[in-house]
């Protein structure tokens, strides 16, 4: 088997759209991929295993307790074999089980056991799709780096109309091609900082900001999808760790600097999305500060500038900064690009459903001699576009700057 052949594990779950997945297998095979179909028990009620076996040329797997199939290629081996996992259709039940890390059938077990990127094409009744439980599960999966393809709007098998139709096979293939792109950063190590920092004032209080970490986590996932080996250094956030990303948790700016210094060695890319606190307590009080007087003055000191420190280091990686501004976005961003000697800076105006603690964002990316607007969309889509731009600029550097090559 040639190393360049794509190994696709196609999961089919219980929904009427399962019949369209037969066409998906045919198209993936036409592209030269090897396709191993895994069906849930629900899927087998809609389409027979024989259909998928005939189209894929491989015996369909559906039972984790099937000894003869396990003897041929065990489920862990199969999970390792896969370069990509596509679940189409993905039912509401399957999405819920995947979001909560269940391993109660062959398909969910393989999704837990694989390091391959996972894409899902949801298909369900529009009320089920819009249910807060499903939307929460979808958000969990997106934040974990699962690519969600669709669903589309239109007539549904139940006779109603709305959002919940599975994308057509050709659209799924197109979305997969657009979404993942080639592994342009294979062999590249990237360090990403994300989230806020927390600067202690006393044993119970701290200074922090509204950063959710969503943008940084999305950037880490997009870099991983582009083949990079990613270390994500995060302040306190409530997000799940993206699959196949090494996460380091920190609290303060000083701890974040320390963690960056521990991991920056041999790094070719450093993306600073963290909203690092500019000030910390000059001295952290040993005991809880009492409310004794009418007003209280806090003595604050500057925190270390992590990005500037990496920029000043001897083996300076390719540097991308972020600038969240409430005014004069362009002027401030360009000032930081120069002052911190960055290769690129992604700037955005805070507010109006953008930037801090939102699911959507819009960015203007600047580099020396150029700029590009990235319009408002989900942070996952934005991160993918940003990674493409970083790749373009990274590749235009002189060869000597790219340590890995
Ligand atoms: O806070 P400022 O606007 O200067 O942030 C610009 C960039 O510098 C961001 O990428 C941020 O992550 C980084 N930064 C940092 N350490 C700081 C302050 C900012 O790495 N102490």
> What is the reported pLDDT for 176?
85
Q: Which two tokens stand for residue 323?
A: 């600038």
Do 269 and 190 form a contact (C-beta atoms < 8 A)?
yes
Question: Which residue has the least CA distance to atom 17 on ligand 1?
Answer: 305
Ligand 1 contact, 219 CB (< 6 A): no
Query: How does pLDDT run across 191-208, given as a tens digit for each residue?
Result: 999 999 999 999 999 999
> What is the reported pLDDT for 214?
93
Ligand 1 contact, 336 CB (< 6 A): yes
Please tell me the chain's helix, strand, coil percentages from 3-state DSSP, rounded to the nearest 5.
35, 25, 40
What are φ and ψ of residue 10, in 5° steps? -100, 115
Nearest-5° angle of CA 86, CA 88, CA 91?
A: 120
CA 293–ligand 1 middle distance (angstroms): 35
CA 324–ligand 1 middle distance (angstroms): 9
pLDDT of 352 above 70: no
Ligand 1 contact, 319 CB (< 6 A): no
Whole-number average pLDDT of the chain: 92
Q: Do domains 7-179 and 189-283+297-404 have the same CATH topology?
A: yes
Instruction: Collapse the DSSP code of 333 into the 3-class scheme (helix H, G, I; strand E, B; otherwise coil) and give the result.
Output: helix
Question: Which residue has the least CA distance to atom 13 on ligand 1?
Answer: 307
Tell me the whole-structure pTM to 2 decimals. 0.76
> What is the reported pLDDT for 179?
66
Q: For 237-303, where are the alpha helices, taking DSSP H only?
A: 253-263
What are φ and ψ of residue 30, in 5° steps? -60, -30
Query: How does pLDDT run across 319-351, given as a tens digit for each residue?
Result: 999 998 889 999 999 999 999 999 999 998 887
> What is the reported pLDDT for 390?
96
Task: Tell me if the domain spanning 7-179 has CATH number 3.40.50.1950.
Answer: yes
> What is the reported pLDDT for 360?
81
> What is the reported pLDDT for 404?
44
Arch. (CATH architecture) of 189-283+297-404: 3-Layer(aba) Sandwich (3.40)
Mutate to test the pocket of ligand 1, among 232, 277, 313, 321 (most ligand atoms within 8 A of CB): 321
Mutate to test the pocket of ligand 1, among 305, 333, 335, 347 (most ligand atoms within 8 A of CB): 305
Ligand 1 atom showing the smallest separation from residue 253 Cα: 21
**H-helix or E-strand containing 375?**
strand 370-378
> What is the reported pLDDT for 400?
54
Which residues, in sequence order, are CB contacts of 238 under 8 Å at separation 6+? none
Under the banding of pLDDT at 50, 70 and 90, the label for residue 354 is low
| Domain layout of the chain by residue ranges | 7-179, 189-283+297-404
Catalytic residue among 158, 280, 377, 395: 158
CA 361–ligand 1 middle distance (angstroms): 18
Least confident of 9-13, 51-55, 192-196, 225-229: 225-229
Under the banding of pLDDT at 50, 70 and 90, the label for residue 405 is very low
Query: How does pLDDT run across 98-128, given as a tens digit for each residue?
Result: 999 999 999 999 999 998 889 999 999 999 9
Nearest by Cα to 242 from 140, 320, 167, 153: 140
Q: Is 158 a catalytic residue?
A: yes
Ligand 1 contact, 305 CB (< 6 A): yes
Question: Which residue has the least CA distance to atom 2 on ligand 1?
Answer: 323
């Amino acid at each position: 088997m040639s190393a360049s052949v794509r190994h696709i594990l196609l999961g089919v779950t219980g929904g009427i759209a399962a019949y369209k997945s037969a066409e998906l297998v045919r198209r993936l095979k036409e592209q030269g991929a090897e396709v191993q179909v895994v069906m849930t028990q629900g899927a087998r009620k809609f389409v027979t295993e024989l259909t998928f076996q005939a189209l894929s040329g491989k015996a369909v797997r559906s039972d984790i307790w099937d000894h003869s199939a396990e003897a041929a290629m065990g489920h862990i081996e199969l999970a390792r074999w896969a370069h990509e996992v596509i679940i189409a259709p993905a039912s509401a039940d399957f999405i819920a089980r995947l979001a909560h890390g269940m391993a109660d059938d062959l398909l969910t077990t393989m999704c837990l056991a694989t390091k391959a990127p996972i894409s899902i094409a949801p298909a369900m009744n529009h009320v089920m799709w819009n249910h807060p439980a499903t939307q929460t599960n979808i958000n969990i999966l997106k934040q974990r780096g699962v690519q969600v393809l669709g669903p589309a709007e239109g007539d549904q098998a139940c006779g109603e109309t709305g959002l919940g139709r599975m994308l057509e096979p050709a659209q799924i293939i197109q979305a997969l091609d657009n979404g993942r792109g080639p592994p342009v950063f294979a062999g590249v190590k990237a360090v990403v900082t994300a989230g806020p920092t927390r600067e202690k004032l006393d044993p119970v209080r701290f200074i922090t900001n509204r950063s959710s970490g969503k943008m940084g986590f999305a950037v880490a996932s997009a870099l991983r999808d582009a083949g990079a080996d990613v270390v994500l250094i995060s302040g306190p956030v409530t997000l799940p760790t993206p699959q196949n990303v090494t996460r380091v948790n920190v609290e303060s700016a000083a701890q974040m600097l320390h963690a960056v210094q521990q991991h920056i060695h041999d790094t070719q890319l450093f993306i600073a999305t963290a909203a690092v606190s500019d000030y910390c307590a000059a001295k952290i009080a040993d005991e809880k500060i009492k409310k004794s007087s009418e007003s209280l003055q806090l003595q604050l000191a500057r925190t270390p500038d992590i990005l500037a420190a990496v920029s000043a280091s001897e083996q300076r990686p390719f540097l991308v900064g972020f600038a969240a501004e409430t005014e004069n976005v362009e002027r401030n961003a360009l000032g930081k690009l120069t002052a911190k000697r960055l290769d690129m800076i992604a700037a955005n105006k805070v507010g109006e459903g953008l930037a801090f603690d939102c699911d959507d964002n819009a960015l203007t990316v600047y580099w020396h001699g150029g700029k590009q607007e990235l319009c408002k969309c989900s942070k996952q889509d934005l991160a993918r576009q940003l990674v493409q731009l970083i790749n373009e600029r990274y590749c235009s550097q002189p060869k000597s700057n790219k340590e890995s090559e």
